[in-house]
Structure 1
Amino acid sequence: MAIKFKTQPRKNPQDMVAPEKFYAAAIGNGETDMEALAEMISYQSTLTDTDCYAVLRSLEHNIISELNQGRIVKLGSLGNFQVSISSEGKVTPEEVTATDITKSRIIFRPGKKLRKLLSNLSYHKAS
């Protein structure tokens, strides 16, 4: 199935007087939540959907716990999660403190199978 997209106008943030250009933007085609994933997994295994949901909830809890301890969470061919931070710049290393941290975020680095998926996608312009 093809990924649907629409066109969106965008201004150049470096030149606000320049004319807008149009870019492709992906359109979501619904959502799949953890309950639905648990049900799908249960049909592909001998586990019940309740058991699968419990495992997925435990996975979520443990990923959060490990990231909170500063660990990189490697999920095999799925990919890796890691905390990243941004801070204000200082002249010397001694001046940098925890109070200089301005933002934190979670980075996900997809594994080989997910990266391969991106190279095999097809697209369809929404009407």
Structure 2
Amino acid sequence: MDSIQYKVIRRGQPGVAGGGEMKYYAFIKRDRVITLREIVQEVTARSTLTKGDALNAIENFLDLIPMYMRKGHVVDLGQLGNFRINLSSKGSEKPEQVSIFSIKGTKVLYTQSDEMKRNLAQLKFTRSSDAFDNLDVEPNEEAA
């Protein structure tokens, strides 16, 4: 099994003006983004689908997931997990005061399947050879 490389980053305390006390965290080193085109090429190499067929199937799949979520459905993708829409709203003193104007925003929630959890529980990590480069650069993602 491949291992995931991590690097070391320096971050301040969240919500503290000026950053507060700086600490060091492990952070996944991401080499690059895998594109839809690369996934389509991989699918065609593993199946009898043509590039057009694979792209068409994936494009339809990507159209259907948000369509079902817009209808309020949970989209269960089996071994992958499920996707659903969640909302945040402001609280009201009385139930009749809650309206569409109470809704502050929405986001998509993903819950991994039990199989995905088991698969990811077996992850291996190794420190990147350039683990200490750019310690003052704070990535936009959460440190683990």
Equivalent residues in 2 for 1:1-127 (5 A)?
A: 1-13=2-14, 18-126=20-128, 127=130
Higher RCO, 1 or 2 (CA under 8 Å, sep at least 6)? 2
What are the Cα deviations for residues 48-94 of structure 1, in whole angstroms up to 9, with x where unaligned?
12111110000000111111111111111111010000011111221
1:115 match: secondary structure = helix
Report the CA distance between 1:99 and its aligned residue: 0.8
Counterpart Cα distance in 2 of 1:57 and 1:14: 40
Counterpart Cα distance in 2 of 1:29 and 1:121: 17
Unaligned runs of 5+ in 2: 131-144
2:43 match: secondary structure = helix
The aligned length equals 127
Change (3 A) 1:97 1:78: same
Report the CA distance between 1:103 and its aligned residue: 1.5
CA-based RMSD of the aligned residues comes to 1.7
Unaligned runs of 5+ in 1: none
Large movers: runs of 4+ above 6 Å:
none
Identity in percent: 24
